[in-house]
Each structure stands twice: as C-alpha cells, then as structure tokens.
Amino acid sequence: MKESDSSPQVGQIVSISKGRDAGQFAIVIQLLDDRFVLIADGEKKKFDRPKKKNIQHLECFNYISQEVRSSMLETGKVTNGKLRWALGKFMEDVLEALEKGDEFDG
C-alpha cells in the first residue's frame, strides 16, 4: 500500500501505528494544526469523542472517503454509521485489490 506524503486530509483513512490503538484503522475528521488531527472510527472512537493523534503516529493511506469528506465540509459533522460504512468500504476495496494481487494505492 502506498502511503501519502502530504499531510492528512479530512476524510482520509489512516492506520494507527503507535499507542494503545496501534493496528486499527480510523478516519481523519478534523485537522487541528500541522502536527495533530482528530480521528474517529464510529465504533470505539465515536464522532463526538474523537481521538487526538500526532500525525507522526499515523500511517496515511491514499484513500479519502468522499462521503465523510463532503459531510464534514457541508455540515461539520458525520454520523458514526457513515464512519463505520466508509471503513468497511475501504477494507473491501483493499482486500479486493490484494486478492487480485494488485498493489493497493487508492
């Protein structure tokens, strides 16, 4: 999988590489500054109680959920159901790409 080099964007899927939640996936829901973002997954980390993470502790994928992104840009919020759905879709797309033997790059 390709990691994106630029700073994270709202709606981007990330993998947590450090801390208690290492190995889990989440979605960036807000950029705080050039070092920190808020992430949520709709399950353990709900939209109303997101996790503040240092972007150095995240692996960013070249995959942005347009549904989450547009919801955040239009209303400033997103449902936990939509976060779970977007992560599920990401996992399906990744698994499909891996099964075909392609390198997944979003």
Place of tokens 């590489």: 17
Token couple for 46: 């709900």
- Both tokens assigned to 106: 């979003």
Is 34 within 8 Å of 56 (Cβ atoms)? no
- The amino acid that residue 66 corresponds to is Q
Give the pLDDT confidence of 14-58 residue by residue, as tens digits. Answer: 999 999 999 999 999 999 999 999 999 999 999 999 999 999 999
Domain spans, the chain: 12-99
* Model confidence, pTM: 0.88
Per-residue pLDDT band for 9 (boundaries 50, 70, 90) equals very high
CATH 3.30.1330.10 fits 12-99, yes or no: no
- Asked whether 62 and 21 are in contact (CB, 8 A), the reply is no
Q: Average pLDDT for residues 81-94, to the nearest whole number?
A: 95
